[in-house]
Amino acid sequence: MSDIETRVQQIAQVLGQLEDTQVPRNIRNSARDAVEKWLLNKDKEIDIRLGMTASILDEIFNDANLPTHYGPLCLQIQTALEALLNEVKQT
């Protein structure tokens, strides 16, 4: 597995932390969809996978129902996605 795919797997695992019963169902579903339909979908180009996941994560972060202690987690994931996307664009 490439370094990029390894990092994608790590991001997916961290996103899995939103699968908490404290998190509203719609946010859990969005996070799950971001991982399954985009981030880990190898049928799509890596830049599209990262960009769409980042977009969905932005919607999650801006959801008023997101428990406040998950905000920093979303920002950390967003930063990791953007860094990875910049790295992919340079190659």
- Report the alpha-carbon distance of residue 73 to residue 11 in Å, rounded: 11
Domain hosting 15: range is 3-90
Percent of the chain residues topping a pLDDT of 90: 93
Number of domains in the chain: 1
Q: Which residues of the chain have pLDDT under 50?
A: none
CB 15 within 8 A of CB 42: no
Beta-carbon neighbour count of residue 27 at 10 Å?
21
CATH code of the domain covering residue 50: 1.20.1440.50
User: What residue type is assigned to position 45 of the chain?
Assistant: E
- 45, 53 Cβ separation under 8 angstroms: no
Q: What's the pLDDT score for residue 90?
A: 87
Q: pTM (2 decimals)?
A: 0.92
